[in-house]
């Protein structure tokens, strides 16, 4: 009688840790997006990330996982009855593949990917989306796009298993996927009131940097964790994640320095995200020196790409398209240029610069194009449907006065001087009767002095 499979405690522990830190990426994203936003919409922005955790976790349990990772049925989705959430399948012998990892652990790990992919889209529609519309969209897009695309790329579907496209941790399935949907929603919802004439700068740069730092930390679980085991591939994915991201910080701020005369912390933080995005699909397929070059290219190109919205007229509020969509494409194509079997045996066609011609490059481009088309078209349709039924965009009055109050009846900051001492504003002399301004004339309300 064959011996029952046993749990590999080392692999299981590594994936549990990776799952936890990948989950931390979504609150990190909430801080990153929240800091980039205006103060009067910071809570709404963060709520969209936190609500994705709640909604997508439940969808993933009940049917998302079986759509994405059930046995392939048609190249597009998995066996719809194999892993449904009401089915009892947590037996001692229910392990994922040959890894020795309990099925539930792998399910939890991939759940975190589904969560953050949905949350990424929200940055494109800050300050003007109804929360109810966002929830309906997140439900529909996760169901119709993310779950099937995850199967197509990773679950034995026609992109990964059929075409032979390589995506180690989510360049197509996560970043290109979310970026294409973000562009579609930016088109559906239109421009914010006052954009682009009105300055809409980040309201809290330290929050941006903290969010970027948490994302950077969690990305090691995202990329290195995708090997599922602790081995040499895990090591190369970990190292490439670090050096590519470091190089992208430099690439972004060099462009910023040359273009604007000053490097900024927002630029460095955005450069880090661009590098993390770009290395995601390629982290286990390229050598570290190629990862460094990738980071420099991704940081510089994404720094330039964020200006596309001004040239083309779409209001992608927090540059999801310029960073995630463009960065995802760069990382995806990089495999076709620098992927090599000396790094990973999964690379069957050497990259162009390793003498393999354009075969893998063409496969990578086709896979990115397919995901772009699927996500953009479905997101555009969902967005228009929601707008024409329950409404997706908030009123102009709510947008100008502050979407936090309109949608959630709360504010990220108490700017009132009516109670107490006025907090930090009173300490700074703003709106205080003891300030030099107030000595000569009545103090103006804080709302007139502090731009949202």
Spatial distance between the Cα atoms of 269 and 31, rounded to a whole number of angstroms:
12
Looking at residue 452, its pLDDT comes to: 35
* Mean pLDDT of all residues belonging to the chain: 90
pLDDT tens readout for residues 160-182: 999 999 999 999 999 999 999 99
Q: Which of 71-85, 138-152, 363-377, 436-450 has the lowest mean pLDDT?
A: 436-450
Give residues with Cβ within 8 angstroms of 318, minimum separation 6. 33, 36, 37, 123, 124, 126
pLDDT at 422: 40
CB atoms within 10 A of CB 371: 28
Percent of the chain with pLDDT over 90: 83
DSSP-derived pairing of the beta strands 95-96 and 101-102: antiparallel
27-55 pLDDT, tens digit each: 999 999 999 999 999 999 999 999 999 99
Q: How far apart are the C-alpha atoms of 159 and 209, rounded to whole Å? A: 36
The pLDDT tens digits of the residues spanning 367-424 come to 999 999 999 999 999 999 999 999 999 999 999 999 999 999 999 997 665 444 444 3
Is the CB of residue 49 less than 8 Å from the CB of residue 409?
Answer: no
User: Can you read off the two tokens belonging to residue 114?
Assistant: 């589904």
Q: What is the tens place of the pLDDT at every residue in 79-138?
A: 998 887 656 555 656 888 888 899 999 999 999 999 999 999 999 999 999 999 999 999
Helix 205-223 and helix 265-282: axis angle, to 10°?
Answer: 10
Q: Which residue has the higher pLDDT, 446 or 318?
A: 318
pLDDT at 98: 82
> What does the pLDDT read at residue 426?
37
Secondary structure letter of residue 62 according to DSSP: I
Residue 98's CB: how many other CB atoms inside 10 A? 10
User: What is the Cα gyration radius of the chain?
Assistant: 23
- What is the DSSP track for 354-381? GT-TTHHHHHHHHHHHHHHHHHHHHHHH
Beta bridge partners of 78: 72
pTM above 0.85, yes or no: yes
**Mean pLDDT of the 279-290 span:** 98
CA angle (84, 88, 93) in 5-degree steps: 110
Question: CA–CA distance from 437 to each of 415, 416, 431, 443, 447 (Å)?
Answer: 18, 18, 9, 7, 16
Q: What is the mean pLDDT of residues 183-201?
A: 93
């Amino acid at each position: 009688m064959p011996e029952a499979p046993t749990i590999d405690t080392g692999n299981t522990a590594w994936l549990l840790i990776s799952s936890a830190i990948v989950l931390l990426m979504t609150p990190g994203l909430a801080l990153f997006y929240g800091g980039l936003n205006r103060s009067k919409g910071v809570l709404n922005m963060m709520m969209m990330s936190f609500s994705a955790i709640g909604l997508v976790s439940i969808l993933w349990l009940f049917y998302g996982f079986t759509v994405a990772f059930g046995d392939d049925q048609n190249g597009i989705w998995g066996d719809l009855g194999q892993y449904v959430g009401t089915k009892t399948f947590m037996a001692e012998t229910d392990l994922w593949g040959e890894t020795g990892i309990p099925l539930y652990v792998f399910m939890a790990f991939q759940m975190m990917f589904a969560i953050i992919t949905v949350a990424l889209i929200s940055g494109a529609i800050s300050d003007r989306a109804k929360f109810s519309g966002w929830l309906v969209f997140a439900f529909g897009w996760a169901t119709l796009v993310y779950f099937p695309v995850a199967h197509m790329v990773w679950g034995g579907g026609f992109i990964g298993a059929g075409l032979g496209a390589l995506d180690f941790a989510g360049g197509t399935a996560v970043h290109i996927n979310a970026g294409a949907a973000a562009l579609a929603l930016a088109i559906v919802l239109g421009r914010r009131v006052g954009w682009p004439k009105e300055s809409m700068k980040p309201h809290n740069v330290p929050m941006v940097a903290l969010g970027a730092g948490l994302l950077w930390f969690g990305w090691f679980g995202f990329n290195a964790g995708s090997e599922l085991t602790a081995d040499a591939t895990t090591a190369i994915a970990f190292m490439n994640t670090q050096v590519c991201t470091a190089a992208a910080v430099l690439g972004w701020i060099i462009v910023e320095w040359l273009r604007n005369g000053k490097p900024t912390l927002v630029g460095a933080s955005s450069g880090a995200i661009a590098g993390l995005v770009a290395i995601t699909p390629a982290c286990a397929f390229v050598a570290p020196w190629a990862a460094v070059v990738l980071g420099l290219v991704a940081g510089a190109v994404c720094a330039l790409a964020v200006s596309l919205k001004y040239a083309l007229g779409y209001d992608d509020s927090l540059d999801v398209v310029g960073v995630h969509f463009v960065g995802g494409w760069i990382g995806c194509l990089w495999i076709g240029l620098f992927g090599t079997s000396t790094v990973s045996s999964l690379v069957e066609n050497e990259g162009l610069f390793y003498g393999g011609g354009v075969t893998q490059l063409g496969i990578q481009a086709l896979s990115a194009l397919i995901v772009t088309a699927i996500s953009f078209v479905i997101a555009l349709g969902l967005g228009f449907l929601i707008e024409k039924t329950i409404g997706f965009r908030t009123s102009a009055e709510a947008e100008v006065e502050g979407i936090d109050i309109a949608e959630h009846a709360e504010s990220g900051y108490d700017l009132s001087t009516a109670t107490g001492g006025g907090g930090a504003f009173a300490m700074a002399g703003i709106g205080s009767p003891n300030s030099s301004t107030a000595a000569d004339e009545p103090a103006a309300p804080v709302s007139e002095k502090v731009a949202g």
